[in-house]
Amino acid sequence: MYLIEKNNVMKLAEELAKSYSLYGPVTDKETKQVFFNKVASASEISLTAEIPSIPPKTVVFPQIERILEYKYDKGSKKVEMNADFDTSSKALFGIRPCDLTGILVLDRFFMGLEFVDDVYLEHRKRMFIVSNTCTVPFKQCFCVCTDSGPVAEEGYDLNLTDLGDVYLVEAGSDKGREFAEKMGLQKAGPEHTLEKKNAVDKSISLFEKLATDNKAWISRVMNRVTTGFIKEEVWEHIGKQCFECGACTFVCPTCSCFNVEDHNKFSGSTDRLRTWDSCSFEGYTKMAGDHNPRHPVEDRRNKRFFCKLSYSQSKKYLRPGCVGCGRCQWVCPGDIGLPNVVTYIRREITE
């Protein structure tokens, strides 16, 4: 464990920028919206900015990305293929614990099973992650209910915790430790460990006011979803509010559904693209002959909540699929962000 003065903390980012493409939370000057995005200079990053509107999953799983380029020559009937995808080394600076958890879930999906996704692996292979403890929760947060915050437990190379004048810097990997040593960071003592614990405890205590009834019910609701005891009417109430826009999946740090499309370019070659997709779309689950295991919209909706909240699904990710970031609530044109769904199910349980 190390310490770094607050006014020096960005030196870590500056140093990382020498060997990595640097990503972090950035505030748009015109509109004040926060993004997690690539920066040209470390000075653009803000460690105090609110939770980014777009999850950092875009770094490892972009909205649209080329996974292959090919060109077919009609004359010779030959195809020239070029597996040209992003292989840059990336550093994520200031990622929040919930979003880091999201990336760990995506790791299980793209790399943790039999098939390892090369494109995803390239993004992750040389990645350096600096996480940032949330000493104050943001108003839509409920990570304490989903075991994904307010402090990161794993998956980081370095973790920062704001202790007032200094940041406590914890190394979570050999790569992180070497980097801290190289930067000549001052060693921290046991009193700092205690200070961190106090900071985290205080943060957790602040959730009580935010995590009113609905969020605290997540484990009960998981039990209910897993055992399938939820009435059809509840799913219908949720389903009729679904506008089928896909936003909840797009902003979810753990949603991994994708589609593959060929984009024929004006130049004559073709890009094979991977794009985000969503289980809320009818065409996503449709099969030949109009068979659709999830035809009514409520079935497609509850598929998503099974994915996030059922035990069988959680076994795959080794944790719940929801990380408690609250973004789905921001973007939903209906009123069925995950916390609200929990509320609807809670109402059914209590009535």
Q: How far is the CB of 306 from other proteins (least distance, A)?
A: 22
The smaller minimum CB distance to other proteins, of residues 178 and 261, is found at 261
User: ∠ CA(293), CA(304), CA(143), 5° rounding?
Assistant: 165
**79: three-class secondary structure by DSSP:** strand
Beta carbon nearer to other proteins, 192 or 274: 274
Structure tokens at 118: 């090369």
Per rule CB under 8 A, is residue 290 in the interface with other proteins? yes
Structure letter (DSSP) for residue 52: P
Q: Kindly state whether residue 6 participates in binding other proteins, applying the rule CB under 8 A.
A: no
Q: Give yes or no for a contact between 69 and 132, defined as CB atoms under 8 angstroms apart.
A: no
d(CA 155, CA 96): 12
Q: Under the criterion CB under 8 A, does residue 295 sit at the interface with other proteins?
A: no
Q: Is 214 in the site for other proteins (CB under 8 A)?
A: no
Q: Does 250 bind other proteins (CB under 8 A)?
A: yes
Nearest to 176 by CA among 216, 236, 128, 136: 128
Q: Is 46 in the site for other proteins (CB under 8 A)?
A: no
Q: How many CB atoms lie within 10 A of CB 94?
A: 25
Nearest-angstrom CA–CA distance, 318 and 34: 30
Min separation Cβ 333 and other proteins, Å: 3
Between CA 258 and CA 276 the distance in angstroms is: 5
Lay out the site mask for other proteins across 23-42 (x = CB under 8 A, - = otherwise).
---x-x-xxxx-x-xxx---
Instruction: Name which of residues 54 to 73 contact other proteins (CB under 8 A).
Output: 54, 58, 62-65
**Can you tell me which of 273, 306, 348, 349 binds other proteins, judged by CB under 8 A?**
273
What whole-number distance in Å separates Cα of residue 321 and Cα of residue 312?
11
Nearer to other proteins, 184 or 283 (CB): 283
Q: Whose Cβ is closer to other proteins: residue 98's or residue 171's?
A: 98
> Alpha carbon 18 to chain centroid distance?
25
Cβ 159 to other proteins, closest distance in Å? 25
Any contact of residue 139 with other proteins (CB under 8 A)?
A: no
264 binds other proteins (CB under 8 A): yes
Window contacting other proteins (CB under 8 A); options: 9-17, 76-84, 158-166, 244-252: 244-252
Strand-pair partners of 276:
258
Residue 331 binds other proteins, judged by CB under 8 A: yes
Number of residues binding to other proteins, judged by CB under 8 A? 48
- For residue 301, give both structure tokens: 């909706």
Q: What's the Cα-to-Cα distance from 187 to each of 3, 99, 130, 162, 167, rounded to whole Å?
A: 6, 28, 18, 16, 12
Whether the upstream peptide bond of residue 25 has omega within 30° of 0, thus cis, is no
Our finding on whether 53 is near other proteins (CB under 8 A) is: yes
Q: Looking at beta carbons only, is 72 or 243 nearer to other proteins? A: 243
Other CB atoms within 10 Å distance of the CB of residue 176: 20
Q: Of 172, 246, 320, 339, which one interacts with other proteins (CB under 8 A)?
A: 246
Please give the single-letter amino acid code of residue 221: V
Closer CB to other proteins, residue 65 or residue 117?
65
Q: In what order do the strands lie in the sheet with 258-264?
A: 78-82, 64-73, 270-276, 258-264
| Interacting span for other proteins (CB under 8 A) from 87-95, 106-114, 131-139, 243-251 | 243-251
Q: Which is nearer to other proteins, 35 or 85 (CB)?
A: 35
Whole-number CA gyration radius for the chain: 22
In angstroms, what is the minimal distance from the CB of 265 to other proteins? 5
Nearest C-alpha neighbor of 328 from the set 27, 108, 25, 51: 51
Binding site for other proteins (CB under 8 A): 26, 28, 30-33, 35, 37-39, 44, 53-54, 58, 62-65, 240-241, 243-247, 250, 259, 261, 263-266, 273, 275, 277, 281-283, 286, 288-290, 330-335
